[in-house]
Amino acid sequence: MAPLTASTQIAEAGLSRHPDAGLAHAPEPSADCHSLTVEIGGLPIRLRTPNAAFRAQIAERYSSFLRPESRAEMEFELHFSPPDPLSAEEKLEVCCEEGRWQLSRGEFRAAFDLHTRRGHLSFIHNPYSVDTVLRIVHSLLLAPAGGLLLHASGGIRGGRGVLFSGVSGAGKTTIAQLAPPDVQLLTDEISYLRRAGDGFRVYGTPFSGELGIQGEDVSAPLAAIYLIEHGARNRRERVAEAEAVRRLMRNTLFFAQEKRLVADVFSTVCELARRVPVYGLEFLPDARVWEMLP
């Protein structure tokens, strides 16, 4: 008898939408503060900075996801801080106390409150710090809502969303680059999923991989997930539910250890494997891979 047979680990972590009504009484930005609203996966987050040049930089970075007309559900004040050479390699830390989250790594410090829906971010002048904080905030807000962020590229073809999930080097960007012209690219790196009806819906994200291919602000029902790897031929094979859970968990972004949220993410991955077909996909790096997808 060998009851304990295997173990694996989540690659990273995330959580979800707070029941509060959002920033209904948020003050208007002051004259010396520049703001913009970035909406990803239907969740608008307002970013405010006293630096006009940095606002322009962020606006360019998230150009397809700017929604000035949306009412923000969370707001961050952005401030630059001088680099600290002693903490340059610091590991990402995420902790929560009574609804107040604190995030830190070498180049940034951030805190936000899920009750007031406000936060601040101090960072070295680097737009990727904003990217990192947005990923974490979205993952935290998604978890209780039955959603998650997945290491996956993806696209929409014929109204159906497909994702290609894998670790770094598995071929996410390669498949995105090989997409035929009729495919709307969701992302080449980080996919955004939410429960919708009996299934899941995928959304485009600006979170890009090594080649910086930004997704489009589009969404569709999720039709299939392919767990990809480079191979000597093109081959597709259905993955059993339990194995799909194990492999999807490895590619799920989650940054916190708050047990309720971790359980939410686990539950979402189980539902994902139950409701959406998951395939292993071995592929050659040419356009034929898209032709073998139903």
Sites of contact with other proteins (CB under 8 A): 1-13, 91-97, 105, 128, 131-132, 135-136, 168, 240-242, 245-246, 249, 253-260, 262-263, 266-267, 270, 273-274
C-beta of 233 vs 259, nearer to other proteins: 259
| Shortest reach from residue 19's CB to other proteins, in Å | 20
Report helix angle 259-275 to 241-250, nearest 10. Answer: 130
C-beta of 71 vs 260, nearer to other proteins: 260
C-beta of 118 vs 246, nearer to other proteins: 246
| Shortest reach from residue 47's CB to other proteins, in Å | 17
C-beta of 128 vs 286, nearer to other proteins: 128
How many CA atoms are closer than 13 Å to the CA of 257, on its beta-carbon side?
4
C-beta of 9 vs 31, nearer to other proteins: 9
| Shortest reach from residue 141's CB to other proteins, in Å | 15
CA distance 148 to 121: 23
Structure token pair of residue 12: 């990273």
Q: Which residue has the tokens 């904003």?
A: 130
User: Residues, the chain, total?
Assistant: 294
CA distance 82 to 68: 30
C-beta of 33 vs 145, nearer to other proteins: 145
CA distance 284 to 261: 38
| Shortest reach from residue 293's CB to other proteins, in Å | 25
Give the burial string for 239-259 (b: 16+ CB within 10 Å, else e): beeeebbbbbbbbbbbbbebe
| Shortest reach from residue 183's CB to other proteins, in Å | 25
Q: Nearest-CA neighbor of 187 among 204, 171, 170, 200?
A: 204
| Shortest reach from residue 92's CB to other proteins, in Å | 5
